[in-house]
Amino acid sequence: MGDYRHDKHAGNFADVHKHVLLRILLRELKKQPQPITYIETHAGAGQYELQPGGEWQNGIGRLLGRDDLPESVADYVAACRDGYPGSPMHAAELLGDEDRMLLVERKQDVARKLEERLGGDPRCTVECDDGFRRARELLRSTDSRLLMMADPPYVDEEDYLLVAELLSHAEGRGEVVLAAWYPVWRDGREQRLHESLSANVRRVRLELVPENPTREMFGSGLVALGAPAPYLRAGRDVNIWINEVLG
């Protein structure tokens, strides 16, 4: 497994895309009364400091101070006023007292930081483990209403295949929504994910891809399996706006 430091990339255009879509999805799912168990396979440290000169300047930095933000983007920016939150903190904000969170992080020191930042939140369990393995176990062993967020670092190309495998495991589970973020590359390596998915896996792809890419990793995508129709409509609309502003 290669190394990956999320703090270097926190708040960049891909983080904006991912977190705006995640918040839309969480808010939509919370319109239903049943409790949710939120599971994250690669949870990270939970919160990050945005350093001068960092990638965030071409991401959330381009949204700060604007007065024309769509409602879902303004909701995301407001959540980032006191430090930059990772996905677990967005989930902790939006989930209710009856909901539960299982956050898996493979690096022990990072898992410890996440646990500290959650401050003993009784809804949350943090585990230092293999997130893909734990997610597969839960898909086999629980009938709860699940929202899974798969967000591996993709430093190993095997991650694309493991995400595809997880999506296939979740297919047909009516109480499971699985969101999987992936980077879009100039060489098209993310196609391994799509090509590895069974034709029977019904999903939608939302991608942020600029017209004239200048970077090797130039885009951001989210596969959503089992997501409700209102999320898909809202996601497509905000995708267009983010493309225009950050693409």
| 171-197 pLDDT tens trace | 888 789 999 999 999 899 999 999 998
Of the candidates 151, 156, 159, 237, the residue annotated as catalytic is: 151
pLDDT band at 233 (very low <50, low <70, confident <90, very high): very high
- Tell me the pairing of strands 217-225 and 204-208: antiparallel
Name residue 88's amino acid. P
| 86-126 pLDDT tens trace | 999 999 999 999 999 999 999 999 999 999 999 999 999 99
* Among the listed residues 106, 15, 98, the one whose alpha carbon sits nearest the alpha carbon of residue 61: 15
How far is Cα 120 from Cα 74, in angstroms, rounded to an integer? Answer: 29
| 32-68 pLDDT tens trace | 999 999 999 999 999 999 988 888 999 999 999 999 9
> What is the predicted pLDDT for the residue at 213?
67
CA dihedral 97→100→104→110, nearest 10 degrees, is: 10
> What is the predicted pLDDT for the residue at 141?
86
Clarify whether 151 is annotated catalytic. Answer: yes
How far is Cα 68 from Cα 54, in angstroms, rounded to an integer? Answer: 24
* DSSP string computed for 104-148: E-SSHHHHHHHHHHHTT-TTEEEE-S-HHHHHHHHHHH--S-EEE
- Domains in the chain, please, with CATH? 6-246 (3.40.50.150)
Give this prediction's pTM.
0.93
